[in-house]
């Protein structure tokens, strides 16, 4: 009888568990948070390394230049406005089945895909699926989120409406910006409300919703009989209103528009923070299933510096 040991090959399942924390997680968190349209387009100011809190300051002064004299006489009053930017701790706990994603990953890894940037591993592919959903949720939270709801943070809508914010809030009730016949009238109300102190600034824009963008495109086509409505000009029309760029903000309420400098609106997160964590946990070795658990922990929050230079028109 031969007692020589023999190797027996058994079917195995590739384990894809991975953990990223702090700085190592920054790339994944950045993709999840900053790939939404508002943040990815650089349409507000991003503060990427807020550990806990950060003071947002706005500097202004009154008359600065006076007639010459022999003495030094302080002649200008400096006003320093402070707001606290404190990102909220958020998390994602999601369970996915590898079986549902394996065919898509195999197609990508074998080159049968329209995408040029290939995730280097199946774990990265899984994280990418979740990151895309987080980016979409972050876009919504930026404009309509509520700090009182789990999984959301205080949006600009909540901050602008808060008592004492100082934000200018013209009513668009009788000048809807979601209809092509009235969108110009509504945007004109927003334009007329912009303070002279910021009008003409390089980074002044008007943020509009998808509904307003559609309505404005139709209005521009209809009102330029000799140009934009011609058959040879059927694409996207210039997105500006009286010289001020219109920025598409998909998360914004349909009947709302915001006029502000990009440098006056802030998004804060702790990309390099130890609180950031991304885990991909393969459950095969734990319970024998084909499930994968994806865990993300991160921080996100908003603030503005000076309310009286922001216009929030809403119907």
pTM of the model: 0.79
* 31 domain residue, yes or no: no
pLDDT at 48 over 80: yes
CB neighbour burial string for 106-129, b if at least 16 within 10 angstroms, e if fewer: eebeeeeeeeeeebeebbbbbbee
* 8 domain residue, yes or no: no
pLDDT at 104 over 70: no
Minimum mean pLDDT range among 53-67, 142-156, 298-312: 53-67
* 75 domain residue, yes or no: no
pLDDT at 102 over 50: yes
* 44 domain residue, yes or no: yes
Greater confidence (106 vs 65) lies with 65
Q: What is the mean pLDDT of residues 98-122?
A: 60
d(CA 55, CA 202): 24
d(CA 210, CA 250): 5
pLDDT at 230: 53
Please state, as a whole number, how many other Cβ atoms lie within 10 Å of the Cβ of residue 183. Answer: 27
Minimum mean pLDDT range among 44-58, 112-126, 230-244: 112-126
Contacts of 67 (CB under 8 A, 6+ apart): none
* Residue 8 binned pLDDT confidence (cut-offs 50, 70, 90): very low
* 69 domain residue, yes or no: no
pLDDT at 307 over 80: yes
* pLDDT, tens digit, 9 for 90 and up, residues 69-84: 787 777 666 666 678 8
d(CA 201, CA 136): 30
Contacts of 167 (CB under 8 A, 6+ apart): 160, 161, 304, 307, 308, 310, 311, 312
* 201 domain residue, yes or no: yes
* 7 domain residue, yes or no: no
* 167 domain residue, yes or no: yes
pLDDT at 148: 95
* pLDDT, tens digit, 9 for 90 and up, residues 277-299: 888 888 888 888 888 888 889 99
> How many structural domains is the chain composed of?
1
Please state, as a whole number, how many other Cβ atoms lie within 10 Å of the Cβ of residue 9. Answer: 5
Reported residue count of the chain is 315
- Would you call 295 helix, strand, or coil by DSSP? strand
pLDDT at 7: 41
CB–CB of 291/96 below 8 Å?
yes
CB–CB of 272/26 below 8 Å?
yes
* Residue 15 binned pLDDT confidence (cut-offs 50, 70, 90): low
* Residue 309 binned pLDDT confidence (cut-offs 50, 70, 90): very high
Domain span at residue 158 reads 37-58+81-110+123-306
């Amino acid at each position: 009888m031969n007692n020589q040991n023999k190797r027996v090959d058994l079917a195995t399942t590739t384990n894809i568990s991975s953990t990223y924390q702090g700085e190592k997680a920054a790339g994944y968190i950045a993709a999840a948070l900053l790939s939404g349209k508002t943040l990815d387009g650089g349409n507000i100011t991003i503060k990427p390394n807020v550990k806990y809190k950060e003071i947002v300051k706005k500097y202004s002064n009154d008359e600065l230049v006076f007639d010459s004299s022999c003495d030094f006489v302080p002649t200008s009053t400096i006003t320093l406005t402070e707001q606290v930017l404190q990102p909220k701790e958020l998390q994602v706990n999601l369970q996915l089945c590898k079986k549902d994603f394996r065919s898509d990953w195999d197609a990508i890894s074998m080159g049968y895909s329209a995408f040029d940037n290939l995730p280097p591993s199946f774990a990265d592919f899984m994280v990418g699926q979740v990151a895309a959903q987080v980016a979409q949720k972050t876009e919504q939270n930026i404009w309509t989120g509520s700090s009182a709801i789990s999984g959301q943070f205080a949006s600009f809508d909540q901050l602008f409406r808060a008592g004492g914010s100082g934000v200018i809030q013209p009513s668009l009730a009788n000048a809807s910006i979601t209809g092509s016949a009235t969108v110009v009238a509504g945007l004109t109300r927003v334009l007329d409300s912009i303070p002279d102190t910021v009008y003409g600034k390089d980074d002044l824009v008007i943020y509009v919703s998808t509904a307003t963008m559609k309505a404005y495109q139709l209005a521009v086509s209809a009102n330029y009989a000799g140009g934009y409505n011609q058959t040879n000009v059927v694409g996207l029309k210039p997105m500006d209103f009286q010289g001020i760029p219109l920025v598409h903000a998909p998360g914004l309420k349909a009947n709302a528009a915001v006029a502000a400098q990009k440098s006056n609106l802030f998004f804060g997160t702790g990309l390099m923070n130890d609180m950031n964590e991304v885990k991909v946990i393969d459950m095969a070795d734990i319970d024998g299933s084909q499930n994968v658990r994806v865990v993300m922990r991160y921080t996100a929050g908003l603030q503005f510096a000076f309310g009286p230079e922001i216009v929030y028109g809403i119907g």
